[in-house]
Structure 1
Amino acid sequence: MDYLKRTFRWFGPEFGVSLADIRQLGVEGIVAACQQVPLGEVWPVATIAALKSEIEEHGMEWSVVESVNIHTAIKYGLPERDFYIANYIQTLKNLAKNGIYDVCYNFMQLIDWTRTDLDFILPTGASALRYSPISAAAFDLFILKRENAKESYPVEAYNEAKAYFDGLTDAGKKKLEESILAGMPGSRKLIALEDFKTNHATVLKIDKKQLQDNLSYFLNAIIPEAEKIGVRMAVHPDDPPFSVFGVPRIVSNYEEIKFLLECCPSPSNGLTFCSGSLGASASNDLVKIIEDFGDKIHFIHLRNVARSDDGSFYEAEHLGGSVEIDKVMKAIVEQQQKRYSNGNGVVSIPMRPDHGHVLLDDKKRQNEFYSGYSLIGRAMGLAQLSGLEKGIRLGLNI
């Protein structure tokens, strides 16, 4: 039975990691996107082919697209959404023409993920990404200045956030702002605070049900077309999996995943299983999600988080933290065994180590990387996960 397909996300050589570097890690596939194409426009066949060729010249395949980003008109249900949906479908067709069939995407309304510290120093001296609810509240209350935000926090939390913010230097306040506005992978450009405020004000007017309806509308438009051409769509969970800045989450737990898979049933409507995003909430049963939705998992992100009782978390090493990653891997391998036995679905599911600590020589070129995407930290994660997978297979005698 095939092992998980070892993949690695690559943003391009300008982000400190080359394809030649990645090839040395024993990686089979690259996870990449045509990031130079503006949001909402069709990815040209030639642009896709050029990137595919560049990857193949280094002895690897382009395994997964991450991401074909979704225009805000679709997320917000604006009148022009059908135009952007048509463009999205054409992009999927152009990918299929190039033999690329796995597409990761997300439906997060503001930014792809939220962290309040991009350089949290660990006891080892390595650094990691961290989320603090008090820091997030301080941004919400005193930088974003969301209307009526104060009423959404308990008095104790408000006072703690105010004391924290008042204690920051101007540089500290700037660092907090930049950490949050950096949540768009593949770009060095921070989201402008005024643009963030504008989008935030718009999405606050849309309730959770409407956001889910907008997702359903999108899926029911694209999935039938994706199924015709063999493309597998894999939604990434919201990160973190709870409301931030008053914005509802719609892909953050078992019931929400169930909704999106059932609103448009199809082999092409699937999930990117991310142990870190889902694992940031102690209420998520990751093994049950794999067991119940395993046949719809088209792509896997594996990382770990260390949760605290106050709601904060930092990204731990891949085999450490609060997520029982051994049980997660065992459930994934058992899902592979099921696919192998019944002949239904891809057995060699693409998997990548998600994020990684900044350590060793990577510290000397930390500013070259996109946050979370150092080379050595992810290489260590890949080695740990590969060893864990092999050990579990030996234990199951498969």
Structure 2
Amino acid sequence: MKQTWRWFGPKDLVTTDDVAQAGAEGIVSALHHVPTGTVWSRDEIAKRQAEIARLSDGSPSGLDWAVVESLPVSEDIKKQQGDWRQHIANYKESLHNLAASGLEVICYNFMPVLDWTRTDLAWRLPSGATCMRFDLTDFAAFDLHILARDGARKDYDAALQEAAARRFAAMTDEAKEALAGNVVYGLPGAAERFSLEDVRAHLAEYAAMSEATLRGHLVDFLSEVAPVAQELGLRLCCHPDDPPFPLLGLPRIMSTEAQYRAVMEAVDLPANGITLCSGSLGARPDNDLPGMMERLGDRVHFLHLRNVKRETTEVRGSFHEAEHLGGDTDMVALVEAALREEARRKAAGRSDWSIPFRPDHGQDILDDLGRKAQPGYPSIGRLKGLAELRGIIAALSPRVVA
């Protein structure tokens, strides 16, 4: 399992020096400054590779650009409107440029409007550490009373509506502004930032879209780009919905094993694969992460290893980012399943037998609390997670190989 680390480029407050000292072997990055829907040029790709390859003093870092996360899919493609056909053509050209630059693994997602959703980006734990959290009551307060989405009330039962009204009434203006900002924060490092009006406009365009229609648009997209990736020797891997349940009246199509299987079967090419994110999928109690790795592992091209602690028992509920070994997912069993998949691939002679993973997210601890890096991406919190995962791998590898 190749140990990688997400890095948002030169503006990231966690530097390549930090990554090298953490012991990671490769970088997960993207050209966040390039507008979604446009072509990633070879010059821009080469520039990012050069930035990754050196430390702050100019000496070699020993790191390579191992995984692209993300080559974003535009809202026009998801909705099949506007410039969506040109955006698909541009996506194909970007794939050609990435392949020519030596990259092979391309992560993306197909979540409408927002790439991930949290209500608190720095929730304080009893230890004094902070983490990201999704509070369903806070989210309902945002949806019902700040965004004031048409038809929102039908998505919440009476008890939750009442709780959200009380929560909203107790908020200061500053708290309301912070909640709205947290919910629409989106992908860290992205070129775009959504305002409430932007969100309302996108929601209006998705209003009549069903889960089946959105899945059809994903299959149409993959039918165009996956054969190109296959020909170029690339591996596309779709990240799950985060959280893995419907929000804001939007459909979700990559939240369960059945949904992933349907898309893999619809475009049945090895290049059409999965980013198995144990944190996103683990927010649902009915997702069996070790089992998913066993059953879908042939198409898992990238692993995000993180953990969440569910605070409620329902499929749609509150949760917070836990320590990597401290949440509801059995991380030891998941890593063992991944190692077994690697052993199967190696025995079959697959060149992609080593599955890249990164310690996804982390709690802000120690000096992280003053650094204020990208929410969810602290230096020391992720180093702690990587060390814990590295220990599991070292303990299990001899047994799995044997």
TM tier relative to shorter chain = over 0.9
Residue of 189, 208, 212 corresponding to 2:211: 208
Alignment partner, residue 9 of structure 2: 12
Structure 1 residues 255-334: aligned runs within 5 Å: 255-309=258-312, 311-334=317-340
1:397/1:35 CA distance change after superposition, 3 Å:
closer
Structure 1 residues 93-132: aligned runs within 5 Å: 93-132=96-135
Alignment partner, residue 21 of structure 1: 18
Offset of 1:385 from its aligned partner?
0.5
Offset of 1:33 from its aligned partner?
0.7
Alignment partner, residue 347 of structure 1: 353
Residue 95 of structure 2 aligns with an amino acid whose one-letter code is L
Structure 1: state its 5+ residue gaps.
Answer: none
Alignment partner, residue 379 of structure 2: 375
**2:77 paired with 1:77:** no
Q: What stretches of structure 1 move > 2 A for 4+ residues in a row?
A: 187-190, 394-398
Alignment partner, residue 198 of structure 1: 201
Residue of 29, 33, 41 corresponding to 1:36: 33
Offset of 1:345 from its aligned partner?
5.1
Q: Secondary structure at the match of 2:3?
A: strand
1:178/1:79 CA distance change after superposition, 3 Å:
closer
Q: Secondary structure at the match of 2:189?
A: coil
Alignment partner, residue 249 of structure 1: 252
Alignment partner, residue 168 of structure 2: 165
The question of whether the paired residues in 1 share the 8 Å contact of 2:34 and 2:191 is answered with: no
Structure 2: state its 5+ residue gaps.
Answer: 55-60
CA distance in 1, matches of 2:270, 2:333: 26
Offset of 1:395 from its aligned partner?
4.0
Alignment partner, residue 394 of structure 2: 390
Q: Which moved more, 1:209-218 or 1:190-199?
A: 190-199
TM-superposition CA deviations, 1:56-90 (whole Å, max 9, x none): 23211100000000111110011531111000000
The question of whether the paired residues in 1 share the 8 Å contact of 2:32 and 2:191 is answered with: no
The question of whether the paired residues in 2 share the 8 Å contact of 1:182 and 1:189 is answered with: no
Offset of 1:340 from its aligned partner?
1.4
CA distance in 2, matches of 1:79, 1:175: 32
Residue 368 of structure 2 aligns with an amino acid whose one-letter code is D
The question of whether the paired residues in 1 share the 8 Å contact of 2:9 and 2:48 is answered with: no
Task: Compute the RMSD of aligned alpha carbons.
Answer: 1.3
TM-score by length of 2: 0.95
Offset of 1:229 from its aligned partner?
0.6
CA distance in 1, matches of 2:256, 2:211: 14
Q: Secondary structure at the match of 1:13?
A: coil
The question of whether the paired residues in 1 share the 8 Å contact of 2:118 and 2:134 is answered with: yes
Q: Secondary structure at the match of 2:67?
A: strand
Residue 373 of structure 1 aligns with an amino acid whose one-letter code is Y
CA distance in 1, matches of 2:33, 2:139: 31
TM-superposition CA deviations, 1:121-158 (whole Å, max 9, x none): 01111000000111111111011111121122111110
Q: Secondary structure at the match of 2:141?
A: helix
Residue 15 of structure 1 aligns with an amino acid whose one-letter code is D
TM-score by length of 1: 0.96
1:74/1:94 CA distance change after superposition, 3 Å:
same
Alignment partner, residue 142 of structure 2: 139
Offset of 1:15 from its aligned partner?
2.3
CA distance in 1, matches of 2:193, 2:375: 12
Offset of 1:285 from its aligned partner?
1.1
The question of whether the paired residues in 2 share the 8 Å contact of 1:137 and 1:245 is answered with: no
Residue 72 of structure 2 aligns with an amino acid whose one-letter code is N
Q: Secondary structure at the match of 1:235?
A: strand
Offset of 1:188 from its aligned partner?
8.5
Residue 362 of structure 2 aligns with an amino acid whose one-letter code is G
Alignment partner, residue 217 of structure 1: 220
